[in-house]
Amino acid sequence: MNPAILLTGPPGVGKTTAIKTIVALLGDRAGGFYTREIRAQRRRTGFEIVTLEGHTVWLASRSQVATFKEEAQLGQYRVNLRGIDSFAVPALRRAEAAGRVVIIDEIGPMEMASELFCQTVLDILAGPTTVVGTIALRPSPFAASVRRLQRVQVITLTPDNRNQMPQQVLDRLLLN
């Protein structure tokens, strides 16, 4: 069975940076999405979803004026559920259908606010598709259920291993 490798670690350790490096190494063999911080005047104001096909949509915003057609409140952030369901989920499904390595950055609290996202992740992980992604370190029932899946390998990213990890992940993918 193809691997499902999920990187975890504390915020700011470099999970998304590692994912972006893995995506660059895989080239057109990868599909899915990653998330990116939005900053204004050195302050994080939100996040956006970036599909590997080049589409971008807001994931979450701190702005009091941010109103998404379908949203959830998570701490200081308004989460764009429609963006997750209309951009991230289809990007995952297209990657799966094309037989690409499915990139999921990340399985985190904001994304988990979408029931469709959670079901899609479980569906993809139940299938044969190779998956590389990130998963929140913070415990949650959904993240715990993902971690328990037989083919899921969780690797903790640290400042000591983060620079070598993209190549190590790629090596694991090529061995299977």
Q: What is the pLDDT of residues 20-77, one digit of tens each?
A: 999 999 999 999 999 999 988 888 899 999 999 999 999 999 876 566 666 888 888 9
**Number of domains making up the chain:** 1
**CATH number of the domain encompassing residue 121:** 3.40.50.300
Q: What percentage of residues in the chain have a pLDDT greater than 90?
A: 80
Residue 6, pLDDT > 60, answer yes
Quick one: pLDDT at residue 64? 60
What 3-state class would DSSP assign to 106?
A: strand
- Start-to-end CA distance of the chain, whole Å, equals 8
Q: Which helix (H) or strand (E) holds 6?
A: strand 4-8
Quick one: pLDDT at residue 66? 60
Report DSSP state, residue 87: I
Quick one: pLDDT at residue 65? 58
Q: What percentage of residues in the chain have a pLDDT greater than 70?
A: 95
Computed over every residue of the chain, the mean pLDDT equals: 92
12 versus 118: which is more confidently predicted?
118
Concatenated DSSP letters of 110-126: TGGG-HHHHHHHHHHHH
Q: Which residues contact 65 (CB under 8 A, 6 or more apart)?
A: none
Residue 175, pLDDT > 60, answer no
144: how many CB neighbours lie within 10 A of its CB?
10
Q: What's the domain range around 9?
A: 4-175
Quick one: pLDDT at residue 33? 98
| Mean pLDDT computed over 161-174 | 91
Q: Please state the pTM of the whole predicted model.
A: 0.93
Polymer length of the chain: 176
Task: Show the tokens assigned to 82.
Answer: 């429609």
**CA dist 113 → 26, 34, 87, 92, 159 (Å):** 29, 17, 15, 17, 29
CA distance 29 to 51: 14
